[in-house]
Structure 1
Amino acid sequence: MGMFNRKPKKPSGQAKPDPIEEFWQWWERNQHSITDAIEKGTLNDYVEPLTGRVQAIDPRLAFEFGPGVESQHQLTVTAEGDPSARSAARRWLNQAPAADTTWSFFDMRQAAAVISKLHIFGHTISLRDIQVATEPTTTGLSVGLYHPVFSQLSEAERTQLTFIALDHCLGEEVVSIWLDGIDALPAPPAESVDLSELPGIVAEVRKRNSNDEGISWLNLKGETPQGPVVVSVLGRLNSAVNPHLDHYVGVTVGFQDAHPVYELEDKITAMFSGHGMPQRGMIHSGMMVASEVLLDQRLRTMHFYVDSTTDLEYQIRAVVQQWRDGEVLINAEYDPGWHNVQHLRV
């Protein structure tokens, strides 16, 4: 008999206005005026209406304008590192128009083209003076940053400056996915590199832990109170990998023969079909991020994340209810930070 932790949510019949769709309709009407306002120095006239429309999507989001790399200007709507708000920012980006010579759009801060100076906390800080200590982790990198001005800043200010410098150097997405420990150091490290060298170091880490399909998977073995376990897991288990996949679905099945379990997995992952979007290319509605097999108990748990705006949880439940080879347990909940799989992070 199958066990289910709660009733599946069925799609609501009452459609509410989509604040993301409303944002882009407003943008289409006003983008030329905003471009002119940047040239005239009157962009402040649009701060209030933009703030209202961004916060209607999610009050935790912030926006900023900046010079573009392949376009004249760029608009970034960011969750500012908050995993629980990233899905809203990514959905905003997924509905963005294609970039052109005037505008491009991002949901995470991009790396700056040049390592420059910051005017912050009453100081003019040259990012070229930052020293970086690096330590490889299993699939990522831990870093510690030091700047002489740290002695004049509070702990909170040192931490904030550290993250600003890393976003400036690497971009918010790379920082979120590939960096593990991040520290503001109280003294110069014994061994260090310049901040400008960090992108190359991280690029090597990414290369070692990626393949043609993206981030590599790891196969691990361990012991639990229930006996030996075999784990397959995405090498970088972070919601920034696919922020719009914010709903967790864990499927545990008992089995006698492994082959039908793989067939079940294939049936589920086949639901995660992609669709093209102007700004992000092919967008998938779900992904498997890990699996665990308790060998003695012959139980396999598959960990999925899906887009909460779809009915994929309902579809997965319908498929799993047909399982007849052993017990079934489904655990599902809204989990934009991917907390349900952090025990598997390496």
Structure 2
Amino acid sequence: MSGNERIAGFWRWWAGRSDRIAAAIGAGTVPECSDEISAQVDALHQDLQWELAPGRRAQHALVVTAGGNPELRPLAERWFRTAPQGDPVWEYRPARAADPQALRHDLASGPHTLGLDQTELAIAIDEDRQLLDVSVHHPLFTDMPEEPRNRVSYLVLDWLLGEDGVERWVGAIESVVERPDDALPAEALPEIVDGLAERNPDGKWAMLEGRGEDGSVLLVTARRPLKWIDYPLFDQHIGVTLGYTEQHPAGLPSPEALTWLREAEDELTGILGDSAVLAAVATVNGQRTFHLYADSQDRTARDRASKWTEATHGARVEVYTDPGWRTVSRFA
């Protein structure tokens, strides 16, 4: 059974159970329904997670989430995009939403009970990558092993920014035992993220350069911000490579070759239109590769790219699944 068939089956089941589950929330008897819900979510994929939460525009929200796993995020997104239209009772989410109020409560972790309002963060801002590296500290971390410390840290960030917000704005995450000298209250994080977003309202491109042992130059132009979470269905990498013979000793194209490559890029991206997004362009040793991403369940971009390469001298295409955009992550 395909993923789309499993999703359709879930929504057929939900149509006959949503009223009962809403009533169970009101009566405080959700545990009686949890095994049934779990079975239906497991039928989508056993590693998906679910929860019932208060709604923003409705009474309740049903959340089916990849739990930070890029491999499953497209499935959660397709589940969400085929959901019934929201109504006064139910709304639907493909990721956990931010809930900063949760930091006003205590969190039990093994033998420890953490007052989350004591959590502090040290934040390093990378303006170029539009990412924050975050160190998370709590006074009780001194008594906790690394794994539960890390779990608490991720939960705190999820509550502050939501799952997608963490993926979009946070780079490295570290739980630290020693309190950083520049520690800030945890609730400052959303405002810092808002400031980073406001300083970078429009997309731009960054140029990166490296050199191989043979003296060849690798030149990369990459989208900024390079964030796959902004395109959660674009889980398919389409690599279109063009060879050029007129080049400098370091392997970069001559002015004539560069003009041809730019014209080819404009033609290719024009043909693909909104069916794909260009994430990065890498040039090295007489070859330029356009790293494109598209929806693996929509053949439009793949077919158009293949047709274009067949008609273009020196072009070839390679297509494979790449949720999370690992191929271009080194350019982020």
Q: How many equivalent residue pairs?
A: 311
Q: In the TM superposition, what whole-angstrom CA distance separates every residue of 1:219-273 from its partner, at most 9, and x where no partner exists?
A: 314133374444332223343222221111111113532343133322343261x
C-alpha distance in structure 2 between counterparts of 1:161 and 1:15, whole Å: 35
User: Where do 1:30-179 residues align within 5 Å?
Assistant: 30-114=17-101, 115-121=103-109, 122-137=111-126, 138=128, 139-179=130-170
Residue ranges of structure 1 left out of the alignment (5+ in a row): 1-13, 273-285
Q: What is the one-letter code of the residue matched to 2:261?
A: A
Task: State whether residues 217 and 232 of structure 1, in contact with CA within 8 Å, keep that contact through their aligned partners in structure 2.
Answer: no
C-alpha distance in structure 2 between counterparts of 1:203 and 1:271, whole Å: 27
Match of residue 209, structure 2, among 222, 228, 232:
222
TM-score (norm 2): 0.87
1:74 alignment partner, SS class: strand
Task: State whether residues 66 and 74 of structure 1, in contact with CA within 8 Å, keep that contact through their aligned partners in structure 2.
Answer: yes
Alignment CA distance shift 1:309-1:127 (3 Å): same
2:10 alignment partner, SS class: helix
For the aligned residue pairs, the C-alpha RMSD in angstroms reads 2.1
Task: State whether residues 210 and 218 of structure 2, in contact with CA within 8 Å, keep that contact through their aligned partners in structure 1.
Answer: yes
TM-score (norm 1): 0.83
C-alpha distance in structure 2 between counterparts of 1:44 and 1:268, whole Å: 52
C-alpha distance in structure 2 between counterparts of 1:15 and 1:170, whole Å: 33
Q: What is the one-letter code of the residue matched to 1:135?
A: A
Which moves more between the two structures, 313-322 or 164-173?
313-322
Shift of 1:168: 0.7
Task: State whether residues 246 and 306 of structure 1, in contact with CA within 8 Å, keep that contact through their aligned partners in structure 2.
Answer: yes
The aligned residue for residue 292 of structure 2 is 304
**Is 1:293 the counterpart of 2:283 in the alignment?**
yes
Task: State whether residues 100 and 187 of structure 2, in contact with CA within 8 Å, keep that contact through their aligned partners in structure 1.
Answer: no
**Is 1:26 the counterpart of 2:13 in the alignment?**
yes
C-alpha distance in structure 1 between counterparts of 2:162 and 2:184, whole Å: 18
The aligned residue for residue 206 of structure 1 is 197
Which moves more between the two structures, 228-237 or 161-170?
228-237
C-alpha distance in structure 2 between counterparts of 1:116 and 1:74, whole Å: 21
1:165 alignment partner, SS class: helix
2:58 alignment partner, SS class: coil
C-alpha distance in structure 2 between counterparts of 1:145 and 1:15, whole Å: 41
Q: Which has the higher contact order (CA 8 A, sep 6+)?
A: 1
Q: In the TM superposition, what whole-angstrom CA distance separates every residue of 1:88-130 from its partner, at most 9, and x where no partner exists?
A: 1111111112323221211111111513224321433222111
Shift of 1:344: 1.1
C-alpha distance in structure 2 between counterparts of 1:236 and 1:118, whole Å: 35
The aligned residue for residue 11 of structure 1 is none
Which moves more between the two structures, 163-172 or 303-312?
303-312
Shift of 1:48: 1.9
**Is 1:263 the counterpart of 2:254 in the alignment?**
no
**Is 1:314 the counterpart of 2:317 in the alignment?**
no
Residue ranges of structure 2 left out of the alignment (5+ in a row): 245-256
Q: What is the one-letter code of the residue matched to 1:309?
A: Q
The aligned residue for residue 191 of structure 1 is 182
Task: State whether residues 71 and 99 of structure 1, in contact with CA within 8 Å, keep that contact through their aligned partners in structure 2.
Answer: yes
